[in-house]
Amino acid sequence: MPVSRRVVITGIGLITPIGNTIEEFWNNLISGNSGVSLIDRLDVSELPTRIAAQVRDFDPLKYIDKKSAKRMDLSQQYAIHAAAGAVEDSNIDLASINLDRAGVVLGSGVGGLETFEKQHSIIIGNSPLKVSPFFIPMMIADMAAGLVSIQFGFRGPNFATVSACASSSNAIADAYSLIQRGSADMMLTGGTEASITITSLAGFCSAKALSSRNDQPEKACRPFDNDRDGFVMGEGSAVFVAEELQHAKSRNAKIYAEIIGMGLSGDAYHITAPAPDGNGAARSMKAALDDAGISPEDVDYINAHGTATGLGDIAETTAIKTAFGKHAYNVPINSTKSMIGHLLGAAGSAELAATILQMNNGMLHPTINLDTPDPECDLDYVPNKARKAEINCAISNSFGFGGHNISLVLKKYQDNG
């Protein structure tokens, strides 16, 4: 029989638009504080969208020396800081664990896009011979995982996942599988993104995907609201320590939650639009429930992908109804993106962190800016006000361009011996 081991989360590290520590992130989440503002580090005057959810108060030199930091893309710096936070939170003694069985898998949708822009401008304005020798390792999406493994000496499985906005959830699903089947005992996993750049913003603006509510940035991200006009770009990183249960217990690690299932599917429909009937998303949720061995009625809460796009919110609502039947009207759902924006490849990891913290604190954060619900989005989206809730089992959804769908199932940890 194949090995099937229990997998738990024992550490969380965060770099987000509403906080770079667990406490700050949680306090802003539960208070419904938006991280969206006018973009102040780029000249975006020619773009129809001039807002984003930017990371604030980030000190790259906290965990990285100055020379090394200059040789890293911002997305890589975010990943190292989030990973360091997770390692510290998990209280890992690196000298006492088998580093050959500790790995890293991180997701990123666009990798070092800022680096690509800067180096391309050197070619255009000067000469291709002036391009940095560090251009390629600063740009490629896998290098965040590589740098994190170097930082902590983790010599186990090491790779990156790229599945657009599902990238970090993909990474977490892969880490879960690696530990579950016995290929590793511990994994640093999650995602990172630093995509608030001219190229990225211009591309999404051209695709008419972004909100242009520039006069009210904090009101711009409106998942499931009838007045939504697109998503808001975000950035940051969230990294977890995922660990085999007995390995965690042997070092007396605190346990936030247990991963008990995952579901993956493809829409096979369109490069950017979701299948209108939500078929792919429904199948990912059903597969996750089957993998976890639970019924829809066992789920107490859903963290929605909830991007505030016209098609996406309706398709996800339809998918939840398909997957959960009548229980869809009983289970509370919220969108973390309403406050932190859309972290693209890092979105799923930040939202899983929000899911875990809500589970541990017995509180649901609000979906802010949900003032006039879309009649086609008629489920309980926890509008505008936090709510007490007993969350024993939760699903977190991530859906990406290209039709990538991933659902992760978490439950409160119970020691069964």
Active site amino acids = 165, 305, 342
Q: How far apart are CA 7 and CA 261, in angstroms?
A: 10
Task: Give residue 344's region: left, alpha or beta (phi > 0; psi -120 to 50).
Answer: left
The secondary structure of 85-96 as a DSSP string is HHHHHHT--GGG
Give the helix/strand (H/E) hosting 387. strand 387-388
Q: How far apart are CA 360 and CA 355, in angstroms?
A: 9
Give the helix/strand (H/E) hosting 68. helix 66-70
Who's near 312: CB < 8 A, 6+ residues apart? 274, 305, 306, 399
Give which of 192, 156, 169 is closest to 79, Cα–Cα.
192
Residue 127 CA, distance from chain mean position: 38
Q: How far apart are CA 201 and CA 68, in angstroms?
A: 28
Which amino acid belongs to residue 384? N
Give which of 241, 248, 294, 282 is closest to 409, Cα–Cα.
294
> Could you tell me if 52 and 196 are in contact, meaning their C-beta atoms sit under 8 angstroms apart?
yes
Which pair of structure tokens corresponds to residue 396? 């977190």
- Beta-carbon neighbour count of residue 410 at 10 Å? 26
- Beta-carbon neighbour count of residue 129 at 10 Å? 7
Q: How far apart are CA 303 and CA 267, in angstroms?
A: 20
Which pair of structure tokens corresponds to residue 403? 């039709």
